[in-house]
Structures are given as C-alpha cells and as structure tokens.
Amino acid sequence: MNPANEPSNIVNLSQRLDPASGRGGDLLNAVRSIASRRLQQYIGNMFEHVDDALFDLAEKAENNAAQMHYFDGMREVRKRRPVIERTFLAQVSRELNDFVSGNRTTPQSSSTPAPQAGSIELSLVADNELEESLAITSMIGKNETRLARDLFAVNQRLSVICGGAKIEDATNPIGPALLAQAFRQSMRELSADMRVKLIIYKLFDRYVMASLDELYQETNAELMRAGVLPQLRHEVLRQGGASAAATGGATGAAGDVTAPMAADDSEASAELLQTLRTLFGARRAHPNVPLSAIAHGPLPTANELIGALSVLQSQAATVPVAPMTTAVSTLDITQQVLQLKEQLLSQLGSLRGQRPGQIATMDEDTIDLVGMLFEFILEDRNLPSQMQVMLARLQIPYLKAAILDRKLFAHRQHPARRLLDGLADAAKSWSEESDRDGRLHDTIKAIVERLLQEFDDDMTIFDRLNAELQQFQDANRRRAELAEQRVAESTRGREKLEQARRRAAREILNRIGDNVLPPLIHGVLSRAWANYMVLTILRKGEESTEFREALRFVDAFIASTKPVRTPEAKRDLRQLLPGIERALRKGLTNVAFQDADIERLLSQLLTYYRQQLGEAVPAAEQAPQTSDSTPSPLPIPESIQPLAESMADLEDDPAEAEPEAAAIAPEVREQLELVNTLKPGTWLEFNTDAEHFERAKLSWISPMSGRYLFVNRRGLKVADYSPYELATVMVEGRARILASNALFDRAMDAIVDRLSHEDARTSDPE
C-alpha cells in the first residue's frame, strides 16, 4: 500500500513509539486514566459486599469464637476500609507512573522470609503467609488464563507505545499479577484473622478480577482508535498446541517480532481442512484400513455423485419424523450415517450399470468428513436426543452441498454452515417443558423437511432457510426477554426484601448486644419494630432520616430498660418516655396495627415503666411478663410477613450455609472455580432423574446475593442457586454446562482429534 494513502491516525507497525514523546505519553496517560477510574469503581463495589459476607458467615459460625472472629473482622474492615482503598489505588498508581516513566516492574517471585526455628508465633505467621500466597497465586493464574485473549492484546499494544519493550502478563501494570500483589500490599493495613482476609481475597477475585475484561476491552478500544495495532488478533491455533497468534505484531526490544502473524478465519479454516485431508490420506494409506473393492470403470464425476445423492435424498424425504413426545433411539440413525458411503456406491452402480470400486480422493475425503460431522452430531451431548435424530437427517443434503461448493468446510460464514450452527443453537435450548406447544420442534422439523424435499443444486436455499430460522428466533427472543425481565425484577424485589430484613435484624441484634431485655421490650423490637424498619428501608432507604430515627428509637427503647436507682436516672427515663410513645404510635401505624392494639401495647408499656420508676401499680393493671405479652398484630403486608417472628427465628436461618474454603471438598472447589467464571447467556442442563431434564440459561447474577438465576428458552424461571449450591449439584451429576461455541467448530475439532489419535495408534510399532 502507498504510505501516502494511509490515514494519518494509523500507527506504522514497523516503527516504535517513544514513550517520552508527546504521542506515546498521551496514550499511556489515557491507559492510566481508564485504569484508575475503573479500578476505583471495582474496589468500591467489592467493599460494599464485604460487610454482608462477613455477617452471613458470623450468623452461620459453628461456635462463639468463630463468630467473634467475623464480627471483629467486620468492625476492623469498616474502620480500615478507606486506608485499604487508598493504599491499593496508590500502589496501582505508582506502578502506572513507573510504567509511564519507563521504570517498569520486572517479574519477581513472591517470597516470604523463613521463620526462626523454634518460634511458634513465627511459624503461625509463615503458615498464614503461605495460605495467603496460595490464594493470590491461584487468583492470578486463573484470571491470566481466563483473560488471555484481551490481556495479550493489551500487552502487545503497550509494547508498541513503550518503544518496543516487551510487555508480559507479569509486567503489565494493569495485569492480574500486579493488581493482585498491589491488593495484597494494601491488605497489610488490615489487622484481622486470616479467615477474614481469605474471604476478602475471594471477594476481590469476584468483584475486581472478574471485571478486568471490561477494563482491558476499553483499553484495547482506546488504543485501537488511536491507531495502535488496529488489526491485532489473538486466537488459539488448532495444531501444534495452544499458542498466541496475532496480526500486526509489535516489534520487540531487539527488533524481533513478538507476536507471529495469524491467519484470518477463512485461512484458519482452510488450514484445518488441509490438515484433515492429510489425516484422511494417512488413514486410507494404512493397510489396516480397508479400501473400496477394486473394480473397472472411470471414477464417478461430481454430477454422477450429485445425481446418486439426489435419489438417496428423495428416499430419505419419505421417512416420517417421529413426534417429539416419542422416545427415539439414535441407533438406527447412526447406522444409516455409517452406511452412507456404501449406499452411495450402490446407487452409483444402479445409475451407470456398473458399481465403481473407487471414488476420487477429494470426493472420498468429503464423504468421510460429512459422515464424521453427523456422527459427531449423534454423539453431541449438547443436543437433546430428539434433536440429534432430527438434524442427522440432513446428512445427504449437506454432502450434496459440500460436493457442489468445496468452500463449505473452508469458510465459517458459509450459508450452509451458518444454518446448521443456527439449528443446533436453537435445538440446544429445547426441552419438552419449555416447548409444550411444539413451536420450536415444528420449526426445526419444517426446515429439515424443506431441505430434504426442495434442495437440488440451488445453494441459495440455505440463505432463505437461515433467514426464516433467525426470524423465528428473534421473535421468540423478544418474548423471552420480556419474561426474563419480569423474573429478574421479581427476584430482585425478593432479595431487596431479604436484604432489608437482614439489615433490620442486624441493627437490632448489634444494639441489643449482651443486654437481657424484658420479654415485652424484646417482643416489640423483634416483631413490630423490625417490620417497621424493613418498610422504612424499602420505602426511604438506609440513608434516610426516617431510618436513622428508627435506629435512635431502638437505642432509646433499650436504654429505657436499664435499672433506675437514682433520682437522676428516674428523671432521664421520664424524659425518654414521650419520645418512645410518639415513635411507637407512628411506627405501629405504618405496619398495620389498629388503634386498639396500639393502645393495649402502650398500656402494657406504661405499666412496665411505672414499675421501673418504683410507682405503685394496681394488681388489675399488672400483666404477666412473658414472651407473649405483646399484642398480636393484625395481618400485615404479605411482603414483610417473615419478620413477624421472634428474633431467635431471625438468627436461625434454615438456609444451607456455604462452608468455609478449607471445608469445601476438592471436587466441589474445582467445580466452584468453573462456576465463578460463568457469564449470563451460558446454557446448562439440569436433570432430576434419567428420564427428565431441563435446559436453562444463566439469565442473571444477583449483585446483592451472588445467586444465579436460570430461565428456560421462554424466559420462565427454572431454578436459582448460589455458586456453592450449583457447584455441588454439578458434582452430584445433576447439572452440566453446555458448550457455547458453534456446532461446526466443535465437530471439526473433535474430528481432527479423533483422526490424530487414529494416526498415532496405527503408527505405533507395537
């Protein structure tokens, strides 16, 4: 290309930018600005969840000592949060400043000084350091793998604007390694039990590390707009192991290219196809693989193959499709897939009067490849068995298409390939429960039958059918999205209620502390007033004046139970009583108490306070002090009914608690790491027994509880799980993740793997 014609904002990839230059410095400052803004947001979001996480663990603690560890940790985190945030952001800022100025971090292994022999305290410190190091190392490794694609691109672009200096994961100032180490440094400001610290590291992984893809994508987009490696690509090669490949590679410090050139999708597919042909050739050449019987006559032409396949296609079109409610075995279909080559040779013999013994190498490769593609479909657990059988009927039309247009396997965007991928993607979400009206089943069935009945040699039929499928999918998607929104809103509402309930309970519990309250006072706080606090949080918010007034009432109400032994104490109590009465009247009215119930309660409280003040109380007015001495409230709004219980019930949450990290079984921990990487849009299959299954999509992850909401293809709720619960279900074999990549890609990879292993076995001298 003539350099004079290149846009002025495109960086010449054969050159390096001087980071000290105006342009290089501006780009690095832009990266620093993006990182600072996003990381401040991420770390703030993380700390918003620390308090709830530690409180949950304290509630579920196995003993008082463990509970105190978590409560102490809560207080310490609240106190030290600002300095930890400042220290973390300052450390990241220093790394970025050093990076911009050229004083870059070199990879170092994190080491801890060995403790002195015989020192129990130092041994404990060493154990804690080791446990902390393992948590950090695991976090870094997992996220560097997960973020490999975007992180690679950031590294390459930073290398360009840093004068060609090689930037690696470990030296990238916004890479997982340096960010995790910066947070570890900031955590030295926290004097808390190691169990508390490990919980915070887990939350850092969930709310900071899990969001880095957004940071990297924004950074890459900004640098691409500035013309830094706008054509850069990164992908995993299918041969020779997993390796990074890039187009428009950055120049290394010694002038070497740090990223090799990679083919685009079409070139990669063509390369894969050539690999397959090589493997097919090795398969045919081996003496253990039977060859077609030798016979006379010329090799069949493409037209003869198409003619024979058309006859077989018309025969297949007459075979009825079983209804979706009929249990269909894949055995017969599998046998038909395996026998297609033999059927084709026989049909060619009928047409030309002489059965050919051989087929042209390219045609035989195509026949074998299509056959293996449909074998894969019949084995693919991503597809329900009813859908496997339906799609397997397309083998002959697809073999015809592959012979008519050799580009089918070489181009990912080929219409026939996109149609099969689209059908498989739609079929993946199918289940009888989610398709009771049979609309999805009938749509896929109609497309299959039209291909069998109408496809001759006009390849445009694939575009037409693909458009019809997409129209059907889009219409269903819009309906499903509306249903999903309703389910998510309903779930969000319940979680807000639960969060408000727990906040109210926590505030009351914290204020009661070690005080032993009279049953009358305890009953008012744990029932009526707790309900009023929940309503106040939901209507006005936790920062509202009304909520602060509700908390002041709790303090005053508890203070009113203290022994009154001096004239000053009696005076103070009398001053409290009018405010207590006003607040109770207002609060109880809001939670649906009727006037008569309010007056009865206030009368009981008046009797109690007269006794507190040492005043004589007529025997008729004295009420027994039992846990039932408060009046029963009238029915209150259903949304807050769970709080009309004793505080003991609030402390006893029957929900299964997530065990501490050390108590989680290794197999569950492994699945939990996988679960934590799931993104909305991922499909899973849930089964309660061998006969019943349900396909469900991860629709929403609650920002409050972290629970995963799953819906079916119609947008209706199937289940919701905490990450730990989902990991446990997966270990038990009652749920599994379905592949998200396209059917064709999965099939091609599986075929290469199968042929490679066949080749390795037949080459073994044993």
Measured distance CA(347)–CA(706) in Å, rounded: 60
CB 742 within 8 A of CB 421: yes
Q: Which residues pair with 245 in a beta bridge?
A: 235
Measured distance CA(549)–CA(555) in Å, rounded: 10
We report the CATH number of the domain holding residue 684 as 2.30.30
pLDDT digits (tens, 9 = 90+) for 312-359: 888 888 877 655 544 445 555 566 667 888 888 888 888 777 788 778
Cα separations in angstroms, 189 against 80, 106, 199, 337: 7, 25, 16, 66
Burial of 51 (0-12, 13-18, 19+ CB in 10 A): middle
How long a stretch of residues is the chain? Answer: 766
Q: What's at 175, amino acid-wise?
A: G
Angle between helices 176-186 and 64-101 (to 10 degrees): 130
Look at residue 605 and tell me whether its pLDDT is greater than 80: yes
User: What percent of the chain shows pLDDT beyond 90?
Assistant: 33
Q: Binning pLDDT at 50, 70 and 90, where does residue 634 land?
A: very low
Looking at residues 235-255, what average pLDDT do you find? 35
Tokens of 529: 């007033």
Look at residue 146 and tell me whether its pLDDT is greater than 90: no
Look at residue 551 and tell me if it is in a domain: yes
Residue 66: closest CA among 734, 600, 660, 580: 660
Residue of 142 and 467 predicted with greater confidence: 467
Residue 345: closest CA among 361, 360, 356: 356
Q: Binning pLDDT at 50, 70 and 90, where does residue 24 land?
A: low
Comparing 77-91, 249-263, 646-660, 737-751, the range with the smallest average pLDDT is 249-263
Q: Which residues pair with 737 in a beta bridge?
A: 684
Q: What per-residue confidence (pLDDT) applies to 760?
A: 60
* Domain termination site, one of 224, 244, 262: 262
Other residues' Cβ atoms within 10 Å of the Cβ of residue 632? 8
CB 100 within 8 A of CB 28: yes
Other residues' Cβ atoms within 10 Å of the Cβ of residue 131? 17
**How much of the chain is in helix, strand and coil states, percent to nearest 5?**
65, 5, 35
Q: What per-residue confidence (pLDDT) applies to 398?
A: 95
The owner of tokens 């051989």 is 358
Tokens of 278: 């090589």
Asked if residue 641 and residue 680 are part of one domain, the reply reads: no
Measured distance CA(156)–CA(223) in Å, rounded: 11
Write the DSSP string, 163-190: TT----TTT-TTSHHHHHHHHHHHGGG-
Angle between helices 331-338 and 340-352 (to 10 degrees): 50
Look at residue 43 and tell me whether its pLDDT is greater than 90: yes
Measured distance CA(132)–CA(110) in Å, rounded: 11
pLDDT digits (tens, 9 = 90+) for 423-460: 999 999 998 888 988 999 999 999 999 999 999 889 99
Residue of 352 and 672 predicted with greater confidence: 672
Alpha helices by DSSP H, 162-263: 176-186, 194-207, 212-225
* Domain termination site, one of 623, 651, 679: 651
Asked if residue 144 and residue 111 are part of one domain, the reply reads: yes
Asked if residue 128 and residue 83 are part of one domain, the reply reads: yes
Q: What per-residue confidence (pLDDT) applies to 283?
A: 67
CB 683 within 8 A of CB 220: no
Give the alpha-carbon dihedral of 63, 68, 71, 74, to 10 degrees. Answer: -120
Look at residue 762 and tell me if it is in a domain: no
Cα separations in angstroms, 111 against 23, 116, 139, 659: 38, 15, 17, 30
Q: What per-residue confidence (pLDDT) applies to 302?
A: 84
Q: What per-residue confidence (pLDDT) applies to 301?
A: 85
CB 161 within 8 A of CB 19: yes
Q: What's the domain range around 217?
A: 3-262
Q: Tell me the average pLDDT of the chain.
A: 79
Q: What per-residue confidence (pLDDT) applies to 454?
A: 92
pTM of the model: 0.54
Look at residue 715 and tell me whether its pLDDT is greater than 60: yes
Q: Binning pLDDT at 50, 70 and 90, where does residue 735 land?
A: very high
Burial of 757 (0-12, 13-18, 19+ CB in 10 A): exposed
Residue 700 has phi, psi (to 5 degrees) of -160, 140
Look at residue 725 and tell me whether its pLDDT is greater than 90: yes
* Domain termination site, one of 605, 628, 651: 651
CB 539 within 8 A of CB 590: no
Measured distance CA(187)–CA(88) in Å, rounded: 8
pLDDT digits (tens, 9 = 90+) for 102-141: 666 554 444 444 344 444 444 444 567 777 887 898 889 8
Look at residue 658 and tell me if it is in a domain: no
Q: What per-residue confidence (pLDDT) applies to 565?
A: 86
Look at residue 230 and tell me whether its pLDDT is greater than 70: yes
Q: Which residues pair with 721 in a beta bridge?
A: 708
- Total domains, the chain: 4
Residue 300 has phi, psi (to 5 degrees) of -60, 140
CB 104 within 8 A of CB 140: no
Look at residue 635 and tell me whether its pLDDT is greater than 60: no
DSSP state of 162: T
CB 306 within 8 A of CB 396: no
Looking at residues 391-416, what average pLDDT do you find? 90
Look at residue 14 and tell me whether its pLDDT is greater than 60: no
Residues sharing a CB contact under 8 Å with residue 648, sequence separation 6 or more, in sequence order: none
Q: What's at 669, amino acid-wise?
A: R
Q: What per-residue confidence (pLDDT) applies to 646?
A: 38
Comparing 279-288, 702-711, 715-724, the range with the smallest average pLDDT is 279-288
Asked if residue 431 and residue 568 are part of one domain, the reply reads: no
Look at residue 759 and tell me if it is in a domain: no
Q: What per-residue confidence (pLDDT) applies to 12?
A: 41
Look at residue 475 and tell me if it is in a domain: no
User: What percent of the chain shows pLDDT beyond 70?
Assistant: 76
Q: In angstroms, how far is the first alpha carbon of the chain from the final one?
A: 56
Q: What's at 214, amino acid-wise?
A: E
Q: What per-residue confidence (pLDDT) applies to 250?
A: 37
Comparing 7-11, 33-37, 320-324, 618-622, the range with the smallest average pLDDT is 7-11
Asked if residue 121 and residue 203 are part of one domain, the reply reads: yes
Asked if residue 330 and residue 218 are part of one domain, the reply reads: no
Look at residue 719 and tell me whether its pLDDT is greater than 50: yes
Residue 386: closest CA among 443, 453, 441, 331: 441
Look at residue 27 and tell me if it is in a domain: yes
Q: What per-residue confidence (pLDDT) applies to 256?
A: 33
Asked if residue 451 and residue 307 are part of one domain, the reply reads: yes
DSSP state of 226: T
Asked if residue 280 and residue 240 are part of one domain, the reply reads: no
Asked if residue 413 and residue 535 are part of one domain, the reply reads: no
Write the DSSP string, 656-674: PPPPPGGGS-HHHHHHHHH
Q: Which residues pair with 694 in a beta bridge?
A: 686
Asked if residue 273 and residue 258 are part of one domain, the reply reads: no
Asked if residue 191 and residue 81 are part of one domain, the reply reads: yes
Q: Binning pLDDT at 50, 70 and 90, where does residue 7 land?
A: very low
Asked if residue 8 and residue 130 are part of one domain, the reply reads: yes
Look at residue 467 and tell me if it is in a domain: no
Residue 708: closest CA among 697, 695, 694, 692: 697
Residues sharing a CB contact under 8 Å with residue 340, sequence separation 6 or more, in sequence order: 312, 367, 371, 395, 396, 399
Look at residue 302 and tell me if it is in a domain: yes
